[in-house]
Copies of this chain bind each other. A is one copy, B any other.
Amino acid sequence: MSGKFADRMQSVHKSFIREILKVTEDPSIISFAGGLPNARLFPVQEMARAAQKVLAENGEAALQYSTTEGYLPLREYIAGRYARSGLNVDPDDILITNGSQQGLDLLAKAFLDRGDGVLVERPTYLAALQSFGLFQPVFHSLTLHEDGVDIPQLEKALHEHHPKIFYSVPTFQNPTGITYSMDKRREAAEALDGQDAIFIEDDPYGELRFRGQSLPPMKSLLGDGSVLLGTFSKIISPGVRLGWMVASPEIMEKAIIAKQASDLHSSCLIQRVVHQYLLDNDIDQHISRIRAAYGSQRDLMVKMIEDLFPKEVKYTRPEGGMFLWLTMPEGISSLDLFHRAIKEKVAFVPGQAFFADGSGDNTMRLNFSNSDEEKIEEGMRRLSKVVSAMV
């Protein structure tokens, strides 16, 4: 009966990462594979108090149907937070979504016809490839340098392919941890100026900076030519599945139609609980605790690489986020390495999954947010042995 499924389903498969994560469920394996925040930093008690308050004070409204746009006080809070960092956003330009992942699906629905061009970084966020992939676009990959996308390649691709979308994670990218420099932000904005392509700025990690100076979002340079995606997943909890999209009124109208058709609206109970949590707690203090923890975990992981890994292995030194990215000499397969690593009870994600063009066989992603120092030391010791034996 598979002839009955839509064409789009033939080209997509179960997430490779998902399958890998199943392998790593064995508790004896130290896993740097997932992309999980550290659960010990979740504000569990504060969320419980917020839930009590919402249900005691506005229980019926919290449990009833609500508007597609999302809970207005929450959208006002988000707008206020952007205002503090210099980005002027109207609450009406914000749509509440189920994590920023749903933003990708809604934008794909709004923009992509089969065969349309989509520019992505090489490598890029795997689940964006999956979201967009269901709408059967043609992906064009752009080289990602240590300070951001390759500008001549971007200019050429814009002119040659007239893409509908340029998708990017310009700050602490998943998978590489790379951040666009200020110069690169300006150059990319100039290249995009006057083009039809919408710049989708996926920013789940921007608040997780543990050193260096904050940079303005691309949206502050691009205005209506961009859509900014944010999320509470990395600063409060991914289990609430709550994110948002910032877009111009014209795009917002289409996104709301798509959201309505997708699931009517995001849970208003969850929206009100998160809003109550934000009202009653100091989120900046909470985020600074996360930053401090991830910063020292990152430092330890980098130090273990410096101390134990062959010098031929290159790695990124991110100033924030949750990931390190390793590049081994050409010819070393990280998938081979993965199978050997599993035998040594340590896991990571082979990098190839993050490349739209199937390259990147010699790369790997390491997550440092979800392992304490003891696990990082022991896990990196195990991994260094496997890498040293292959390089």
CA distance A105 to B42 in the complex (A): 32
Is the pair A264, B6 in contact by a Cβ cutoff of 8 Å? no
Nearest-CB residue, chain B, relative to A60 = B39
A278 located at the interface, meaning its Cβ lies under 8 Å from any Cβ of chain B in the complex: no
Is the pair A14, B105 in contact by a Cβ cutoff of 8 Å? no
Nearest-CB residue, chain B, relative to A68 = B18
Is the pair A63, B42 in contact by a Cβ cutoff of 8 Å? yes
CA distance A121 to B338 in the complex (A): 52
A144 located at the interface, meaning its Cβ lies under 8 Å from any Cβ of chain B in the complex: no
CA distance A55 to B52 in the complex (A): 11
Is the pair A42, B14 in contact by a Cβ cutoff of 8 Å? no
Chain B residues contacting A267 (CB-CB under 8 Å) are 98, 239-242, 267, 270
Stretch of A128-136, A308-316, A339-347 lying at the B interface? A128-136
* CB of A132 to closest CB in B, whole Å: 9
Is the pair B264, A241 in contact by a Cβ cutoff of 8 Å? yes
Q: List 30 A-B contacts (CB under 8 A).
A: A5-B254, A6-B112, A6-B116, A6-B135, A8-B109, A9-B254, A12-B261, A13-B257, A36-B65, A39-B64, A40-B60, A42-B63, A44-B59, A44-B60, A47-B59, A47-B269, A61-B239, A63-B237, A64-B239, A98-B98, A101-B262, A101-B263, A127-B261, A130-B260, A131-B261, A131-B262, A237-B269, A239-B268, A239-B269, A267-B270
Copies in the complex: 2
CA distance A131 to B105 in the complex (A): 13
A113 located at the interface, meaning its Cβ lies under 8 Å from any Cβ of chain B in the complex: yes
A84 located at the interface, meaning its Cβ lies under 8 Å from any Cβ of chain B in the complex: no
Is the pair B261, A130 in contact by a Cβ cutoff of 8 Å? yes
Chain B residues contacting A4 (CB-CB under 8 Å) are 111, 164, 196, 198
Chain B residues contacting A99 (CB-CB under 8 Å) are 263-264
* CB of A38 to closest CB in B, whole Å: 9
CA distance A195 to B5 in the complex (A): 14
Nearest-CB residue, chain B, relative to A134 = B261
A335 located at the interface, meaning its Cβ lies under 8 Å from any Cβ of chain B in the complex: no
* CB of A135 to closest CB in B, whole Å: 8
Number of interface residues of A (CB under 8 A): 85
Is the pair B62, A239 in contact by a Cβ cutoff of 8 Å? yes
Chain B residues contacting A263 (CB-CB under 8 Å) are 97-99, 101-102, 105, 241
Given contacts A9-B258, A63-B238, 8 further A-B contacts (CB under 8 A): A14-B256, A36-B64, A47-B59, A52-B52, A134-B258, A241-B263, A241-B266, A269-B270
Contact flags (1/0) for A159-202 with B, using CB distance below 8 Å? Answer: 00000100000000000000000000000000000001010000
A220 located at the interface, meaning its Cβ lies under 8 Å from any Cβ of chain B in the complex: no
A384 located at the interface, meaning its Cβ lies under 8 Å from any Cβ of chain B in the complex: no
* CB of A46 to closest CB in B, whole Å: 10
Residues from 217 to 247 in A contacting B, C-beta threshold 8 Å: 233, 236-242
Which among A64, A114, A198 has the greatest number of chain B C-beta atoms within 10 A? A64
Is the pair B260, A127 in contact by a Cβ cutoff of 8 Å? yes
Contact flags (1/0) for A19-45 with B, using CB distance below 8 Å? Answer: 000000000000000101101101011
CA distance A34 to B64 in the complex (A): 12
Chain B residues contacting A105 (CB-CB under 8 Å) are 261-263
Chain B residues contacting A6 (CB-CB under 8 Å) are 109-113, 116, 135
Nearest-CB residue, chain B, relative to A39 = B60
